[in-house]
Structure 1
């Protein structure tokens, strides 16, 4: 069949199904305000692929902190202030604890049985408990300190080999974080690690790429017609074969000690005990493994890159953070105890998370009709919380768009989900369980980079010349990777 004919059929079906959806859709009497909607596509044309969080904040400043968008057939509410985020994730958290169903989460994460995308209910509560108590506890996170130390040694060797020459910082940091997460998850010996990492990267690209049919659930079959679903299923099947092999290897090997128990070992141990209200299957375990690999890599490396970028743009902040680290740390490496005493460095990281954390939280969905901010929200409405808009809310922050770590001095505001002007890990029941693991890696890497190196910009480049524009792809990163010159401390003036 000619391509033009296929496109014509798809367009005709799109029009017919969308018109039918608009006619039959359940509407509320008092929906929140929003921008004018075009026929068929609604507000899809307003979505910004480069920096959607910024575009949504601009729209919210015009139409209000609770805003309605019609994205094709998907009725969507955007939340943009701490007060309303508190309403969603605290006051009415139970009603908004569900996740919408997506084709990609169903395929890649074994019918959405991972933590982030699982529907709210008994299964999710059990998995969250396992993660909190066994998988990602503070104690378990600290047990992986040796992995961070070993992988950082490789980074130091690379930086020393490139001493006094410009490098792109993104490359070694992403590789290190990938290795830390994959070793902690799969173990030190996994011959398929690189294949799994490459596959998870492809999965993340699929999640973040624009797919028109995501906004037309009744036309989901067109993912089959266009070949999209076939591509996703191929990736999934290839990954599944490798994950099956990894589970078999972990089950068959004898472990004389549990000191270096990886996350797969933990899940298999929990599964084998049988002391669960709902037994977890191998598919459940594979879904959680993939989540560890996807969620744990991009967000941590993103935060490290932004922290270094902001300090290069603000030399006084860099100098102050370096002075603190070098005064506190007495050995050759930063220890866990040292990190607890790096007060200003922690402020730098918190301010980085405020401006450059995950900008839009994983979508929520309300189970029942309700009222938020005086507006009717019909059941099964998709909810987007713009965490970046909350973190730059002028009513909550002085000079909200400026990088000022000192704003957190003598402040009790933290990222544990209780302060809704600062929610880089979300809040309420669906707060990110990997917070301790991610922050352990970020704090350790940033502190060691400050301890062992002076950092300079290439010749002729000034701090104000650094391009702070961002692009949202796998994660939200500087649109142009930072070029930076490492100067090992022992050879610096």
Structure 2
């Protein structure tokens, strides 16, 4: 992974960094109480305690020892890690205005046109305007509904393609489906040029994983160049910029000539942005448009496919849950406390969702727990926050839910599933990887068994 490679480079610079350490001023004492945390080393702080395991797992282990509000020093940057619903509510709702700011990240700054997107933009008037555009125009319930035909057509083709296969790589085809839906929703008619954009997005996602030396040692400017991170990011940015510029220009030209970019009656997302730029009193620059489109692909493709991938993994591993979920096709066929303010704040949503004080058998996949549960997933309750909460809550909730529900329902309705090569369900490897959406470490391969193919009907 990129950040581990950078750490290896960093380790080779220990002698120089010791010199930097000696030059640093002695930190000022503060009368304010700081959060508890593990003992830290000079220069690197607690970085060594995150190596060797998945960061969100390691953070949970440390929080179990030091508390749900924990201080963690990564290089020169002080961080507060939140690992309980109560503390999350304090920082994401009660005192969210204090913690709403985003830290400077080199990758986001370069890739996202000086953070002119929504996810990484600093809090202020520009961010509020961009979020308003997203929630009211790009990702509103009405707009998501307008893409229903695209979702249904792509899902129908997806189901038909599976029917002819004896074994499928669920991980790959789910990502491909999610990409296809997002491509058509964003760009309309898909060309080879637009399809070439997807591998580039995956490269960008890899660069945004973890942390970089530049982010944790911001004052040591020359490190930005030595690690090679800056040049890699600039190259990716230039490639993405050229592709997005061509796509936008193509839409502008089609609009000028009166030709539709999308296949249906509804505008695609690029059309929506161009209309806003031309007719609304908004300071929506072309760089804003490009950055928002990158947000859409980085946040809207891998995350949806990963959720479905893990759901299928859990249900194949536990046949009881699979059978219970598929019962429905039978009847369907028939009819914060006072702390010093940190440089960065991390909400460990993974740990919060596994808090044994709020969840019985917290580590067990048990979807029935939500059947008679009033917990709201839209940021009002903090025991389970898949989309975040507060001002920075994910604006793509309607889009993500629409894709996940449709695809997963069709997979369960049209097929029974089993593991290949006689693998017993309890032996299925459930290891995860660290990344933007914590995908499976190993791809999921399954055997699809068509269910009543002569009478099946697509779920919409």
Fold shared by both chains (TM-score > 0.5) = yes
Q: C-alpha deviations, 1:364-387, integer Å up to 9, x for none?
A: xxxxxxxx434x223x52100101
3-state SS of paired residue (1:468): coil
Give the equivalent residue in structure 1 for 2:5: none
> May I ask how many residue pairs the two structures share in their alignment?
441
Counterpart among 381, 388, 395 of residue 426 in structure 1: 388
Contact 1:247-1:264 within 8 A present in 2 as well: yes
Distance 2:329 2:31 in 1: 56
Q: C-alpha deviations, 1:148-176, integer Å up to 9, x for none?
A: 122223322331221xx333210111101
Distance 1:34 1:80 in 2: 13
Contact 1:78-1:386 within 8 A present in 2 as well: yes
Distance 1:264 1:26 in 2: 51
Contact 2:194-2:247 within 8 A present in 1 as well: no
Counterpart among 289, 299, 311 of residue 303 in structure 2: 299
3-state SS of paired residue (1:193): helix
> Structure 1's 78 and 22: CA in aligned 2 closer, same or farther, altered over 3 A?
farther
Q: C-alpha deviations, 1:197-231, integer Å up to 9, x for none?
A: 11111111111155333211112432223322111
Aligned residue runs from structure 1 range 289-438, under 5 A: 289-328=293-332, 372-374=336-338, 376-378=339-341, 381-438=343-400
Give the equivalent residue in structure 2 for 1:31: 34
Q: C-alpha deviations, 1:383-402, integer Å up to 9, x for none?
A: 00101111111111111111
Distance 1:28 1:190 in 2: 61
3-state SS of paired residue (1:485): strand
Structure 1 unmatched ranges of 5 or more: 1-5, 332-371
Give the equivalent residue in structure 1 for 2:4: none
Q: C-alpha deviations, 1:56-115, integer Å up to 9, x for none?
A: 111101011111111100101100000000000011011111100111111101110111
Distance 2:29 2:198 in 1: 42
Distance 1:48 1:234 in 2: 28
Distance 1:119 1:73 in 2: 21
Distance 1:321 1:450 in 2: 8
Give the equivalent residue in structure 1 for 2:199: 198
Give the equivalent residue in structure 1 for 2:430: 468
Contact 2:159-2:410 within 8 A present in 1 as well: no
Distance 2:397 2:288 in 1: 21
User: CA shift at 1:424, angstroms?
Assistant: 0.8
3-state SS of paired residue (1:471): coil
Distance 2:11 2:404 in 1: 50
Contact 1:47-1:55 within 8 A present in 2 as well: yes
User: CA shift at 1:138, angstroms?
Assistant: 0.8
Q: Do residues 75 (structure 1) and 78 (structure 2) align?
A: yes
3-state SS of paired residue (1:319): helix
> Structure 1's 411 and 445: CA in aligned 2 closer, same or farther, altered over 3 A?
same
> Structure 1's 201 and 388: CA in aligned 2 closer, same or farther, altered over 3 A?
same
Distance 2:90 2:397 in 1: 22
Give the equivalent residue in structure 2 for 1:347: none
Structure 2 unmatched ranges of 5 or more: 1-8, 455-460
3-state SS of paired residue (1:94): helix
Distance 1:22 1:477 in 2: 42
Q: Do residues 240 (structure 1) and 241 (structure 2) align?
A: yes
Give the equivalent residue in structure 1 for 2:98: 95
In terms of mean alpha carbon deviation, does 433-442 or 141-150 score higher? 141-150
Distance 1:8 1:131 in 2: 42
Contact 2:172-2:443 within 8 A present in 1 as well: no
User: CA shift at 1:475, angstroms?
Assistant: 2.7
3-state SS of paired residue (1:383): strand
3-state SS of paired residue (2:350): helix
Give the equivalent residue in structure 1 for 2:250: 249
In terms of mean alpha carbon deviation, does 150-159 or 308-317 score higher? 150-159
Distance 1:281 1:27 in 2: 43
Counterpart among 449, 452, 459 of residue 490 in structure 1: 452
Contact 1:50-1:472 within 8 A present in 2 as well: no
Contact 1:214-1:220 within 8 A present in 2 as well: no
3-state SS of paired residue (2:40): coil
Give the equivalent residue in structure 1 for 2:45: 42
Give the equivalent residue in structure 2 for 1:119: 122
| TM-score (normalised: structure 1) | 0.85
Give the equivalent residue in structure 2 for 1:271: 277
User: CA shift at 1:180, angstroms?
Assistant: 0.7
